[in-house]
Amino acid sequence: MAVLAIHDLSCVSKSSITVVLPVMEALGVETAVLPASILSTQTDGFEDVEIIDNTDGMERILSAFGRCGIGFDGVYTGYLGSPEQIDIAISAVSTFGKSVLVDPAMGDDGVLYPALPDDICSHMLKLVKRADIITPNLTEAKMLTGLDDVPARLGQRDIKDLIDVLRSYGPEKGVITSVPLVAGGLGNAAWNGGEIRLFNYEDLGVSVPGAGDLFASVLYALIIRGDSFFGSVLHAGEIASLTVSESIRMKRERRMGISLQPALKEIVRRML
């Protein structure tokens, strides 16, 4: 199985492609990359970040794939910095998208990521509608659905309302990640068709860059290999939680992103 991952590339710090590629390969999925942007570092925690836009390069690389007869079994998209890059991702989905996971990376903690245009959500929605699986965090789920009256901590009814709107766009499977729960802690709210399951986990009080990329990468690798959807959500959530916990225990500098070592060790230990 071969997947094309369309993400940004941070030269320093573990997030996006530097997480996606080793994790998916460790799970036995041949992974090619199409960098949307090249960054000196990821933007969360670094003040002076060089960003090289690769929009023109994306189009040229995709054309070269076609000339070489290269194909893929799936497409996996992450952070896309402009409507033009989203259009290119949609083109890649049209060409290669036998299976499509969209991580609609647009914001967190209730705000849009820096440098993204205000209208990015309407463009991202076009890509979401082409996806089989989506993995928005709560901020992104609210942006995509337009449900602004979602409470700070969600109950079952609130989660179902969000999922009903997201499902209406087309994706039959998905996960809203990092949902603060009325009952306490956090949860990953997953759906497969009309079935919804909630996977609770401990709130460690800190978000670590790259954790969402790790979750989505484990999830998609397992699914593309043929594992069950809810079983894949369970494994992805447990590995992501363990990795964040270990990164904190190791006193890793937050802005450097997650430590990949515990993630890869856990993948090997489980023999997924």
pLDDT the model gives residue 106? 97
Alpha-carbon torsion angle 243, 246, 248, 250, nearest 10 = -130
- Reported as a single tens digit per residue, the pLDDT across 218-234 is 999 999 999 999 999 99
C-alpha span between 166 and 238 (Å, rounded): 24
- Reported as a single tens digit per residue, the pLDDT across 18-54 is 999 999 999 999 999 999 999 999 999 999 999 999 9
Q: Is it the case that residue 271 has pLDDT exceeding 80? A: no
Confidence of residue 67 (pLDDT cuts 50, 70, 90): very high
**Residue 202: DSSP 8-state:** -
pLDDT the model gives residue 249? 96
The tokens for 40 are: 């000196």
- Reported as a single tens digit per residue, the pLDDT across 68-112 is 999 999 999 999 999 999 999 999 999 998 999 999 999 999 999
- Reported as a single tens digit per residue, the pLDDT across 122-178 is 999 999 999 999 999 999 999 999 998 999 999 999 999 999 999 999 999 999 999
C-alpha to C-alpha distances, 9 to 37, 69, 102, 176, nearest whole angstrom? 6, 25, 17, 24
C-alpha span between 103 and 137 (Å, rounded): 9
Give the percent of the chain with pLDDT over 70.
Answer: 100
Alpha carbon distance, N-terminus to C-terminus of the chain: 15
pLDDT the model gives residue 148? 82
The answer to whether 133 touches 100, Cβ cutoff 8 Å, is: yes
The answer to whether 54 touches 35, Cβ cutoff 8 Å, is: yes
Beta strands in 82-159 (DSSP E): 100-102, 107-108, 111-112, 133-134
pTM of full prediction above 0.85? yes
C-alpha to C-alpha distances, 144 to 34, 83, 166, nearest whole angstrom? 24, 15, 8
**If you classify domain 2-270 with CATH, what class do you get?**
alpha beta
Buried b (16+ CB within 10 A) or exposed e, 7-46: bbbbeebbbbbbbbbbbbebbebebebbbbbbbebbbbeb
The residues spanned by each domain of the chain are 2-270
C-alpha span between 119 and 220 (Å, rounded): 28
